Amino acid sequence: MIPVYRRGDIADSTWQSLAPALAHQSSMKLALEWFTQMQPPLVPSGLVQQDELSFDLLVPFGDSYYLSYSTS
């Protein structure tokens, strides 16, 4: 499992169901598979370059939130 961090004012019930799913996404492959299993499927909306080797993948979640995946 990987560490996941709660930022913002996401509802406790939403976080309690979301955190375990995120903690098991130890690779982008697993994350992408999870995106497609969601109803409706999650679609990444941006890739922010942090430096020459690191990027953050932004994924809208619900009406008010984004999931941010740090990759390198």
Task: Write out pLDDT tens, residues 11-42.
Answer: 999 999 999 999 999 999 999 999 999 999 99
Q: pLDDT digits over 54-68, tens only?
A: 999 999 998 889 999
Going through the chain in order, the beta strands assigned E by DSSP cover 46-49, 55-61, 65-71
Count of residues in the chain: 72
- Residue boundaries of the structural domains of the chain: 12-71
**pTM (predicted TM-score):** 0.86
Q: Which residues contact 53 (CB under 8 A, 6 or more apart)?
A: 72
What b/e sequence results for 43-68 when a residue is b if at least 16 CB atoms lie within 10 Å of its CB, and e otherwise? eeeeeeeeeeeebebebebeeeebbe
